[in-house]
């Protein structure tokens, strides 16, 4: 479901232009409001929807599964760390979802890379990346597989 | 320079009647441009249809007392202090431009109609306010144009690149700038420069007031109505069809699926995206 902008709600602040990873949110040359220049290229990450301080961006479902008349509205409350979605179907039914957008206060879990010791030659020549193997638990029993954990893929459920 | 009425000195070469006729013409152009803009963009039609939709979705009626209180809030927050801007720098720049423009236009009208010739002594406060208004316009306007404008701050485009959407700000800035330079050259007695900057000043102001249909000038008249409607949708519960606001202290929200991840988190998580300005181009 690509995004679109309500031009009457947008105030042209540029947050969506700044955050869009596809670089398809831009400012209209006539009205100085944001718009999605290429919905076909939208990744549907909804970064712009969540970042918009005026709640001016919505998502529009493709006509095959979300016929005209539906709406998808989102409210991101940064200080509360939550995001709420309200889906209104064409027949009037509503579905509401509430989820966390962060589990720690904003900015408190940024890795302080500048404080790490400089990598020596052995580390530079190694195939491991920064924070490996501990962050992928590879130093804790090697490769973690479904089999090692005693799990199985259920046919018809997972594939 | 700051204390002298530039229009009364101009009356030696241009008749006050012509200046007054020009002001009336500009007023008519603004009225006509706004009406054409409304018809062309169908903004009034959209506004009333949207208001009707919101009314149908309303969960509670909004009485006249509440509406009066909303009108006062809109006046205090959106109209007088531009509270709708989330960017503080933009808000300050907008306020400088708005009040600068009001002071500049009001003193221009008063001086041209009330004190058009040197025969009538102009109170020194009027030309002083005229110059202060133009300076406020320049400070707020150039700050916006060079640093805050979304093309420069978020799109990463150079400040000298402009397009049709910039007609309003460019004509506003050139009007104030050329007006100030004209007054300055006139006070120095530089006749040729004074005529040149007067012509540029008049051309810019004609573009500003005559270009309402193509610029964003008309937004000044729609803004209070849109802000009022937005607040009414909050009061009547329709909230522009937005989801309910989360209440993490309420078990209804706290115990929902996946919200248990926030059980031990502080109620105020601080600022996320808003911590930084949107200029990571």
Give the mutation candidate from A80, A85, A92 for the B interface (greatest B CB count, under 10 A).
A80
- B16 three-state secondary structure: helix
Backbone angles phi, psi at A147, to 5 degrees: -65, -45
pLDDT digits (tens, 9 = 90+) for B205-259: 999 999 988 887 777 778 888 889 889 998 998 888 899 999 999 999 998 888 9
- Establish if B252 touches chain A: CB-CB under 8 angstroms: no
3-state secondary structure of B15: coil
C-alpha distances out from residue B70 to A90, A128, A151, B90, B229, Å: 32, 60, 60, 24, 9
Q: Which residue has the higher pLDDT, B72 or B239?
A: B72
Retrieve residue B16's tokens.
Answer: 């006050």
Beta partners for residue A25, in sequence order: A36
**Is position A85 annotated as part of the catalytic site?**
no
Separation of alpha carbons A50 and A55, rounded Å: 8
In which band, very low, low, confident or very high, does the pLDDT at B159 lie, cut at 50, 70 and 90?
very high
- Burial zone of B97 (CB within 10 Å; 0-12 exposed, 13-18 middle, 19+ buried): buried
The verdict on A136 touching B (C-beta cutoff 8 Å) is no
B249 touches chain A (CB under 8 A): no
Q: Give me the residue from B243, B259, B269 closest to A75, CB to CB.
A: B243
Query: Cα dihedral angle (B119, B123, B129, B130), rounded to 10 degrees?
Result: 0
Residue B278 has its nearest CB partner, among A9, A13, A85, at: A13
pLDDT of B279: 82
Q: Could you report the per-residue pLDDT of B15-46, keeping only the tens digit for each?
A: 999 999 999 999 999 999 999 988 888 888 88
Q: What pLDDT, on a 0 to 100 scale, did the predictor assign at position A66?
A: 67
- Among residues B192, B225, B176, which one has the least CA distance to residue B43? B225
The answer to whether the Cβ–Cβ distance between A18 and B279 falls below 8 Å is: yes
CB count, 10 Å around CB of A98? 25
Average pLDDT value for residue range B48-70: 89
Rounded average pLDDT over B180-198: 93
| A31 pLDDT tier (thresholds 50, 70, 90) | confident
Q: How far apart are alpha carbons B176 and B108 in whole angstroms?
A: 12
Tokens of A85: 């979605």
- Give the span between the Cα atoms of B259 and B248, in whole angstroms: 9
The reply to whether residue A105 touches residue B258, judged by beta carbons under 8 angstroms, is no
For residues B127 and B162, is the Cβ–Cβ distance under 8 A? no
**Are A3 and A36 within 8 A, CB to CB?**
yes
Identify the CA nearest to A17 among candidates A8, A9, A28, A6. Answer: A28
Nearest to A53 by CA among A109, A11, A84: A11
Give the pLDDT confidence score for residue B68 in this predicted structure. Answer: 95
3-class SS of residue A107 = coil
Whether residue B216 and residue A31 make contact (CB cut-off 8 A), yes or no, is yes
B243 reaches A (C-beta below 8 A): yes
Residues with Cβ < 8 Å from B121, sequence gap 6 or more? B115
How far is B187 from B20, CA to CA, in rounded Å? 22
Higher pLDDT, B49 or B204: B204
Confidence of residue B155 (pLDDT cuts 50, 70, 90): confident
Measured CA to CA in angstroms, residue B186 lies from B35, B138, B196 at distances of 37, 19, 11
A residues 60-119 lying closer than 8 A (beta carbon) to B: 71, 73-75, 77-82, 84-86, 88, 96, 98-108
Least confident of A5-9, A75-79, B115-119, B159-163: A5-9
The torsion angles phi and psi of A106, rounded to 5 degrees, stand at: -55, 130
pLDDT of residue B21: 97
pLDDT at A139 over 80: no
Q: Which B residues 110-149 touch A at CB under 8 Å?
A: none
Mean pLDDT of chain B: 91
| Minimal CA separation from A92 to chain B, in Å | 11
pLDDT value at A16 more than 80: yes
> What is the number of alpha carbons within 13 Å of residue A86 lying toward its C-beta?
17
Per the CB < 8 Å rule, is B84 touching A11? yes
pLDDT tens digit sequence for A74-105 = 899 999 999 999 988 888 889 999 999 999 99
Q: How does residue B86 score in pLDDT terms, banded at 50, 70 and 90?
A: confident
From A13, A53, A81, residue closest to B150, measured CB to CB: A13
B88 near A CB under 8 A: no
| pLDDT at residue number B59 | 87
Do the chains contact at A100 and B150, CB–CB below 8 Å?
no
Residue A6's contacts (CB-CB under 8 Å, 6 or more residues apart) are A56, A57, A58
Residue B69, pLDDT score: 95
Query: Quick one: which of A28, A84, A58, A66 has its CA closest to B256?
Result: A84
| Residues ≥6 apart with Cβ < 8 Å to A5 | A16, A33, A34, A35, A36, A56, A57
CB A37 within 8 A of CB A25: yes
- Quick one: average pLDDT of A15-41? 91
CA distance A29 to B163: 6
Give me the pLDDT at residue A151, please.
85
Which of A13, A19, A31 has the CB atom closest to B87's CB atom? A13
Does B271 contact A80 at a Cβ distance shorter than 8 Å?
A: no
Question: For residue A45, how far is the Cα from the chain centroid?
Answer: 5
**Residue A65, pLDDT score:** 62
- pLDDT higher than threshold 80 for residue A62: no
Binned at pLDDT 50, 70 and 90, residue B265 comes out as: very high
pLDDT of residue B191: 87
Measured distance CA(A65)–CA(B250) in Å, rounded: 34
Distance from CA of A14 to the nearest CA of B (A): 5
User: Residue B75 corresponds to which tokens in the numbers above?
Assistant: 């006046």
**Beta pairing, strands A57-59 & A3-5:** antiparallel
Whether B72 has a pLDDT exceeding 90, the answer reads yes
Average pLDDT of chain A, as a whole number? 87
Q: How far is B165 from chain A (nearest CA, A)?
A: 4
- Which of A48, A86, A100 to substitute to test the interface with B, most B CBs within 10 Å? A100
B241, B246, B253: residue with CB nearest A73: B241
Average pLDDT over residues B171-177: 96
Task: Give me the percent of chain B exceeding a pLDDT of 90.
Answer: 59
**Which residues 206-235 of B are in CB contact (within 8 Å) with A?**
216, 226
Instruction: Provide the 3-class DSSP secondary structure of residue A84.
Output: strand
The answer to which of A59-73, A126-140, B129-143 has the lowest mean pLDDT is A59-73
The percentage of chain B sitting over the pLDDT mark of 70, rounded to a whole number, equals 100
pLDDT of residue A128: 87
Q: Could you say which of A43, A97, A106, A138 is catalytic?
A: A43
Tell me the β-bridge partners of A83.
A76, A99
């Amino acid at each position: 479901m690509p995004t679109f902008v309500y031009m009457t709600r947008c105030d042209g602040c540029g947050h969506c232009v700044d955050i869009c990873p596809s670089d398809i949110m831009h400012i209209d040359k006539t009205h100085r409001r944001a718009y999605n220049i290429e919905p076909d290229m939208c990744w549907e990450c909804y970064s712009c929807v969540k970042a918009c301080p005026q709640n001016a961006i919505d998502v529009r479902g493709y006509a095959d599964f979300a016929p005209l008349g539906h709406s998808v509205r989102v409210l991101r409350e940064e200080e509360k760390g939550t995001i709420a979605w309200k889906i209104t179907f064409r027949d009037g039914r509503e579905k509401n979802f509430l989820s966390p957008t962060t589990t720690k206060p904003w900015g408190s879990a940024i890795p302080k890379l500048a404080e790490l010791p400089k990598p020596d030659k052995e580390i530079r020549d190694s195939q491991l990346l920064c924070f490996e193997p501990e962050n992928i638990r590879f130093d804790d029993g090697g490769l973690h597989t479904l089999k090692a954990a005693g799990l199985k893929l259920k046919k018809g459920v997972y594939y | 320079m700051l204390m002298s009425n530039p229009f009364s000195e101009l009356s030696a070469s241009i008749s006050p009647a012509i200046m007054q006729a020009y002001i009336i013409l500009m007023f008519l152009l603004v009225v006509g441009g706004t009406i054409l803009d409304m018809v062309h963009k169908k903004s009034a039609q959209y506004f009333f249809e949207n208001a009707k939709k919101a009314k149908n979705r309303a969960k509670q009626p909004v009485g006249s007392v509440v509406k009066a209180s909303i009108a006062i809030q809109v006046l205090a927050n959106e109209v007088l202090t531009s509270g709708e801007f989330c960017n503080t720098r933009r808000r300050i720049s907008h306020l400088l431009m708005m009040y600068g423009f009001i002071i500049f236009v009001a003193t221009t009208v008063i001086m041209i109609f009330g004190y058009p010739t040197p025969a009538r002594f102009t109170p020194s406060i009027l030309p002083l306010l005229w110059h202060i208004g133009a300076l406020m316009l320049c400070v707020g306007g150039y700050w916006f144009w060079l640093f805050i404008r979304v093309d420069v701050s978020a799109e990463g485009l150079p400040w000298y690149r402009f397009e049709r959407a910039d007609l309003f700000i460019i004509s506003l800035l050139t009007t104030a700038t050329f007006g100030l330079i004209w007054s300055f050259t006139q006070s120095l007695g530089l006749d040729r420069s004074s005529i040149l900057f007067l012509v540029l000043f008049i051309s810019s102001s004609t573009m500003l007031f005559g270009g309402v249909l193509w610029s964003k000038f008309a937004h000044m008249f729609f803004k209070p109505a849109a802000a009022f409607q937005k607040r009414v949708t909050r009061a009547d519960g329709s909230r522009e069809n937005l989801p309910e606001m989360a209440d993490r202290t309420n078990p209804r929200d706290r115990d929902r699926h996946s919200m248990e991840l926030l059980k031990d988190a502080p109620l105020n998580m601080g600022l996320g995206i808003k911590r930084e300005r949107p200029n990571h181009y």
